[in-house]
Amino acid sequence: MVQFPEQFRWGTGTYSYQVEGAAHEDGRGESIWDRFCATPGTIVNNESGLVACDHYHRYAEDIALLKQLGVQMYHFSIAWPRIMPTGRGPVNQLGLDFYDRLVDALLEAGIEPFATLYHWDLPQALQDELGGWANRETAYAFAEYVDVVTKHFGSRIHNWLTLNEPAVTAFEGHEIGIHAPGARDVRLAWQTTHHFLLAHGLAVPIIRANGDEKTRVGITLNFTQLDPVSDTPEDVAATRFMDGKMHRWFLDPIFRGAYPADVVKHLGDYVPKTETGDAEIIARPLDFLGANYYTRSVIKHDPTAFSEYPSVDVEGVEHTEMDWEVYPRGIYNMLTRLHREYAVPRIYLVENGAAFADAVNPDDTVDDPRRIAYLREHLLQVHTAIAEGVPLAGYSVWALLDNFEWSEGYRMRFGIVYVDYPTQKRIMKASGHWYQKVIASNTVH
Ligand SMILES: N#[N+]C[C@@H]1[C@@H](O)[C@H](O)[C@@H](O)[C@@H]2O[C@H]12
């Protein structure tokens, strides 16, 4: 049994496009994910977030679940298309009204809102008019949106995350093309990374100016344990590059003020175009870093590769439904690296969890022992990292609810609460009851 620090905070989360639904309600504008999902063949079973978990109407029921769990914090994202339906200019009061209801209900329940300002659902109008994140202008449009939102909520929301996983939306959305907007252009993808980072940096002082003495600002980055398939120089170099692409390309400009030289050299004339002063904007000091961790990838050299090296499957070890290796030591490695190499002032573990093939028993219970084992093993590694001095302030399990899992649609269930989509009935899984006990005792057995 391990005891977590007294002030340690426990949470869970969801994100707008994955749970809200009500895609055409109360003035919400179209997002690039609405458009992407409407393209046949992009999403498993041609599913979309048009209805999702109907959280827009059922938020009070979901907050009751948060209270039942006993969480102290709740991660959610604000949908830009609800606030500014065309991305810029007119503000949609009904959009603000929804998040007023959500935030006020969270505060009433004694739950700290942790709000992410962008979780991939760009207003489609900006994609049509500017070309989306390919255009530097979109970073400035983001800053305008952030000003509207933080002016409105700055006295009630004190923990802000500018972006979620810019690496994923940049590369899966613009290089690999399995995420919105579905581009497949290496040069474009790298250029969007700079515009995401610029947007982040532009947002930081705006959030602070519209907040108060309790306002804290961060960004959420995704981390994967990366190991070479062999110790050959080629496999080691391929792994080093992928660490650069997925991790250091974002960590270094934010915490060290410059892109990693080895990646810049590798990119050659694919390196993003920047402007004087961008580096200083991106490197504006943060109060904390949000970190997501799920799995390990074992990387193999490929002589034909330039911007993406393949990973190989590891036989004989447990995998989740996403075919992701269960590798708990990776969360320890990630946390201690952030502390050792980047001296991050404070860290919140924003997402950690697993998809398994959950099913409802005849008595309306859901047994998910593999998820409990996954969470337990990762939390034991988290505890070891904290014991070694890592300034981890809190942990959130992904996710509160089963939800729209992007290109995988609804077949992947990450929730500690089961969602029966045809009826929208919520059922706390065994892992939710287990997590409730972890929070109540602040210990993991
Ligand atoms: N896939 N997967 C699960 C989870 C996804 O549902 C979140 O939206 C992302 O922030 C991150 O990728 C992690």
> What confidence tens digit (pLDDT) does each residue in 172-222 have?
999 999 999 999 999 999 999 999 999 999 999 999 999 999 999 999 999
DSSP string across 383-420: HHHHHTT--EEEEEES-SB----GGGTTS----SEEEE
Closest atom of ligand 1 relative to the 120 alpha carbon: 8
Q: How far away, in angstroms, is 381 Cα from ligand 1 center?
A: 21
pTM score, whole prediction: 0.98
Q: How far away, in angstroms, is 405 Cα from ligand 1 center?
A: 7
Q: How far away, in angstroms, is 203 Cα from ligand 1 center?
A: 23
- Asked if 290 contacts 350 with a C-beta cutoff of 8 angstroms, the reply is yes
Is 160 annotated among the ligand-binding residues? Answer: no
Using only the alpha carbons of the chain, give its radius of gyration. 21
- pLDDT of 225 strictly over 90: yes
Of 30, 165, 172, 325, the active-site residue reads: 165
| Burial of 327 (C-beta count, 10 Å sphere; 0-12/13-18/19+) | buried
Rounded distance, CA 21 to CA 121, Å? 13
Check residue 111 and report its DSSP letter: -
- pLDDT of 343 strictly over 90: no
Q: How far away, in angstroms, is 403 Cα from ligand 1 center?
A: 10
- Asked if 201 contacts 162 with a C-beta cutoff of 8 angstroms, the reply is no
Nearest protein CA to atom 5 of ligand 1, as residue: 405
Closest atom of ligand 1 relative to the 165 alpha carbon: 10
pLDDT exceeding 90 applies to what percent of the chain?
100
Say which residues have a Cβ less than 8 Å from residue 183's Cβ, sequence separation at least 6: 134, 173, 174, 175, 177, 189
Q: What is the pLDDT of residues 91-124, one digit of tens each?
A: 999 999 999 999 999 999 999 999 999 999 999 9
Q: What is the pLDDT of residues 310-338, one digit of tens each?
A: 999 999 999 999 999 999 999 999 999 99
What is the mean predicted confidence (pLDDT) over 63-71? 98
Is 341 annotated among the ligand-binding residues? Answer: no
- The one-letter code for the residue type at 190 is W
* pLDDT confidence tier of residue 309, bands split at 50, 70 and 90: very high
**pLDDT for residue 88:** 98
Is 172 annotated among the ligand-binding residues? Answer: no
- pLDDT of 291 strictly over 90: yes
Averaged confidence pLDDT in the chain:
98
> Which residues have CB under 6 Å of ligand 1?
15, 18, 164-165, 292, 351, 398, 405, 414
Q: How far away, in angstroms, is 367 Cα from ligand 1 center?
A: 22
What is the pairing mode between strands 288-299 and 311-312? antiparallel
Of 47, 175, 325, 351, the active-site residue reads: 351
What is the mean predicted confidence (pLDDT) over 286-299? 98
Q: Which residue has the tokens 């309790």?
A: 214
Q: What is the pLDDT of residues 396-427, one digit of tens each?
A: 999 999 999 999 999 999 999 999 999 999 99
Is 405 annotated among the ligand-binding residues? Answer: yes
Closest atom of ligand 1 relative to the 414 alpha carbon: 3
- pLDDT of 350 strictly over 90: yes
Q: What is the pLDDT of residues 359-399, one digit of tens each?
A: 999 999 999 999 999 999 999 999 999 999 999 999 999 99
CA separation, residue 310 to residues 229, 313, 432 (Å): 10, 10, 35
Q: Which two tokens stand for residue 78?
A: 């604000």
Is 18 annotated among the ligand-binding residues? Answer: yes
Q: What is the pLDDT of residues 25-52, one digit of tens each?
A: 999 999 999 999 999 999 999 999 999 9
Say which residues have a Cβ less than 8 Å from residue 11's Cβ, sequence separation at least 6: 71, 72, 73, 74, 75, 112, 114, 394, 395, 396, 397
Rounded distance, CA 145 to CA 83, Å? 8
- Asked if 47 contacts 17 with a C-beta cutoff of 8 angstroms, the reply is no
Tell me which CATH homologous superfamily contains domain 2-444. Answer: Glycosidases (3.20.20.80)
Closest atom of ligand 1 relative to the 220 alpha carbon: 10
Residue 108 annotated to the active site: no
Pocket test for ligand 1, best of 31, 406, 408, 413 (most atoms within 8 A of CB): 406
Residue 290 CB neighbour total at 10 angstroms = 26
Is 119 annotated among the ligand-binding residues? Answer: yes
The 3-class SS string of 213-229 reads CCCEEEEEEEEEEEEEC
Nearest protein CA to atom 1 of ligand 1, as residue: 405
Nearest protein CA to atom 6 of ligand 1, as residue: 405
- Asked if 69 contacts 159 with a C-beta cutoff of 8 angstroms, the reply is no
Q: How far away, in angstroms, is 292 Cα from ligand 1 center?
A: 9
Is 164 annotated among the ligand-binding residues? Answer: yes
Ramachandran class of 327: left when φ > 0, alpha when ψ lies in -120 to 50, beta otherwise: beta
Rounded distance, CA 223 to CA 336, Å? 12
DSSP H/E element including 173: helix 166-174
Q: How far away, in angstroms, is 187 Cα from ligand 1 center?
A: 24
Nearest protein CA to atom 9 of ligand 1, as residue: 165
Residue 165 annotated to the active site: yes
Nearest protein CA to atom 2 of ligand 1, as residue: 405
Pocket test for ligand 1, best of 14, 165, 179, 419 (most atoms within 8 A of CB): 165
What is the end-to-end Cα distance of the chain in Å, rounded? 4
- Asked if 42 contacts 36 with a C-beta cutoff of 8 angstroms, the reply is yes
What is the mean predicted confidence (pLDDT) over 122-130? 98
